[in-house]
């Protein structure tokens, strides 16, 4: 999708009932966030994983470790905001 065709840059809710997801995310702030880029014809989504607490079991972990992963995700969001000239909307 060309940068100039993107018209939405947002944090989106997980598939399913948004109210249930919102309640879940408020009580569990480390839940993955879903980011979205949309044009008139296409949508691209990706998840930002959060580190598990010591008492949680997780199957998804970044290979490079959370510190490097967090830096890369921050950089990605900055690049998207700069290239699209769009604010990041929170649609959760």
User: Residues near 50 by Cβ (< 8 Å), separated by ≥ 6?
Assistant: 29, 30, 31, 32, 33
What are the tens digits of pLDDT across the range 29-53?
556 789 999 999 999 999 887 766 5
Query: Where does the pLDDT of residue 89 fall: very low under 50, low under 70, confident under 90, or very high at 90 and above?
Result: very high
| Beta strands 43-48 and 33-38, pairing class | antiparallel
Most confident segment among 5-19, 39-53, 59-73: 39-53
Per-residue pLDDT, 28:
46
């Amino acid at each position: 999708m060309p940068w100039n065709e993107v018209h939405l840059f947002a944090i989106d809710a997980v598939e399913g009932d948004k109210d249930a997801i919102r309640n879940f995310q408020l009580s569990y702030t480390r839940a993955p966030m879903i980011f979205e880029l949309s044009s008139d014809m296409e949508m691209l989504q990706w998840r930002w994983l959060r580190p598990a607490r010591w008492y949680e079991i997780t199957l998804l972990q970044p290979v490079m470790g959370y510190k490097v992963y967090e830096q890369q995700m921050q950089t990605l969001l900055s690049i998207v905001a700069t290239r699209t000239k769009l604010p990041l909307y929170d649609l959760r």
